Amino acid sequence: MTAPVLLLVMPLAATGQATIAAHRLRQRLAREHPHVETAISFAGSQTAPATPPEPKPDWSEVVLVPVDLTHLKEPPESVRALAELLSASHPDLAVRISRPLGPAPALLGVIDDRMRMATHRAHTQEIDALVLSSPDAGDRRGSTMLSRMSRMWSQHHHIPVRQASGSSGALHVAEVVHSLRREGRRHVAVGSLWVSISPESHEHDLAALEAGAEVVSAPIGDDVLLAQWAFERYCSAAMGSVAEDPGGD
pLDDT greater than 90 at residue 28: yes
Q: Which CATH class is domain 107-216?
A: alpha beta
Read off the pLDDT of residues 103-114 as tens digits, 9 standing for 90 and up: 999 999 999 999
pLDDT greater than 60 at residue 241: no
Angle at 75 between CA 221 and CA 13, to 5 degrees: 45
The CA distances from residue 111 to 3, 29, 155, in Å, are 34, 21, 15
Backbone angles phi, psi at 127, to 5 degrees: -125, 125
CATH of 5-102+222-239, one of 3.10.180.10, 3.40.50.1400, 3.20.20.140, 2.60.15.10: 3.40.50.1400
The mean pLDDT of the chain is 91
For the CA atoms of 17, 76, 153, 207, the dihedral, rounded to the nearest 10 degrees, stands at 50
Comparing 5-102+222-239 with 107-216, is the CATH topology the same?
yes
Q: Which residue has the higher pLDDT, 20 or 2?
A: 20
Distance from C-alpha of 14 to C-alpha of 10, rounded to nearest angstrom: 8
168-206 CB burial, b ≥16 within 10 A, e <16 = eeebbbbbbbebbbeeebebbbbbbbbbbbbebbeebbe
pLDDT of residue 1: 57
Q: Which residue has the higher pLDDT, 116 or 18?
A: 116
pLDDT greater than 90 at residue 12: no
Residue in 89, 65, 109, 117 with CA at minimum distance from that of residue 232: 65
The structural domains of the chain, with segments of one domain joined by +, span 5-102+222-239, 107-216
